[in-house]
């Protein structure tokens, strides 16, 4: 029986399990769009209070709203009015989601030229979400890219149901790759892979990210995870380990898709920041300010937020002995 530990062997064993992580990542806050689209309409002043609190976190990219049919998504019917207020915060990179060229024209006319256009990899979700097939949705990429580029902006194509569809089941990797390749060929500047109903897992994340990168070399690929089945943060960590540095998250874990049955909230921004910063990955976001923004958001939507970290109160703070 050995009476001690071989320090060299122990160090080697620890090094074998080191996480390979980037030094920093870029987090996009999507609570103002994805987070609110399933909520009862929040008054404009409530949204501006949320924005004020979010900007105070240090976040550099915010998805401000969506220029879609007010009948389809009444919670975002004030997109034009909200866009008119964004000049209050000149240091933020604002973007907006559009569903078709008409929405792109509205966004550009309102001064937002950084556009996101959703293309569902599955026909079932595409028809439910946009009233057209995947091929028809892809066919509009070129026109929307032209509108964004003509206004001095860029186009990011978000591929919804990149892993699974609530209507068609599992999305073949090849199908998502084909959509990604076609979008880039038509003029998309970057891509984002969306786990719309929160079903994917880390190995599937890495597999698809790698396949899309191989098909679209040199194009930035971000990720957008929902935490419906509790795997959102694990998926985010897997993506970051695979070299992804652009991630979407929503304050308080709000979110969901009105046209995807069973879809629930996004990964919570404060939980993502906590996990990454505690792992040595810089996000540029202040955790305490994020928790403050979550409180403002909770007041705005009028119900408890799903974020576990928010409910826990943030980082663990040791209690003094006399307080036990």
Enzyme catalytic residues: 257
CB-CB contact of 291 with 274 (8 Å): no
Q: Where would I find the H helices in the chain?
A: 7-16, 44-55, 79-83, 101-109, 123-130, 134-139, 141-150, 173-186, 202-215, 232-241, 269-278, 287-301, 308-312
Q: How distant is the alpha carbon of residue 215 from its chain centre?
A: 22
Report whether 22 contacts 281 (CB < 8 A): yes
The per-residue DSSP string of 28-44 comes to EE-TTTTTTTTSPPPPH
CA distance 244 to 246: 6
d(CA 287, CA 314): 8
Pairwise CA distance, residues 194 & 89, whole Å:
28
């Amino acid at each position: 029986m050995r009476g001690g530990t071989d320090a060299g062997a122990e160090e080697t064993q620890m090094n074998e399990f080191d996480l390979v992580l980037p030094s920093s990542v870029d987090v996009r806050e999507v609570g103002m769009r994805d987070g609110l689209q399933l909520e009862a309409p929040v008054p404009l002043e409530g949204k501006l209070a949320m924005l004020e609190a979010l900007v105070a976190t240090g976040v550099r990219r915010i998805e401000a709203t969506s220029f879609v049919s007010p009948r389809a998504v009444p919670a975002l019917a004030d997109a034009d009015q909200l866009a008119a207020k964004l000049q209050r915060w000149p240091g933020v990179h604002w973007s907006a989601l559009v569903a078709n060229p008409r929405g792109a024209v509205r966004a550009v006319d309102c001064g937002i030229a950084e556009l996101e256009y959703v293309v569902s990899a599955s026909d079932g979700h595409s028809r439910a979400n946009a009233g057209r097939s995947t091929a028809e949705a892809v066919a509009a990429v070129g026109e929307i890219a032209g509108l964004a580029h003509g206004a001095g902006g860029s186009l990011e194509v978000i591929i919804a149901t990149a892993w699974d569809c609530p209507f068609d089941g599992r999305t073949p990797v090849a199908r998502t790759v084909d959509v990604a390749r076609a979008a880039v060929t038509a003029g998309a500047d970057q891509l984002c892979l969306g786990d719309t109903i929160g079903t994917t897992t880390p190995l599937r994340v890495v597999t698809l990210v790698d396949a899309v990168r191989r098909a679209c070399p040199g194009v930035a690929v971000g990720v957008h995870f929902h935490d419906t089945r509790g795997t959102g943060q694990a998926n985010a960590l897997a993506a970051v380990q695979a070299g992804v540095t652009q991630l979407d998250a929503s304050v308080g874990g709000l979110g969901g898709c009105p046209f995807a049955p069973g879809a629930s909230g996004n990964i919570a921004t404060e939980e993502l920041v906590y996990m990454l910063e505690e792992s040595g990955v810089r996000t540029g976001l202040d955790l305490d300010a994020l928790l403050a923004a979550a409180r403002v958001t909770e007041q705005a939507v009028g119900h408890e937020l799903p974020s576990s970290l928010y409910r826990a109160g943030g980082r663990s703070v040791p209690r003094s002995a006399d307080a036990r």
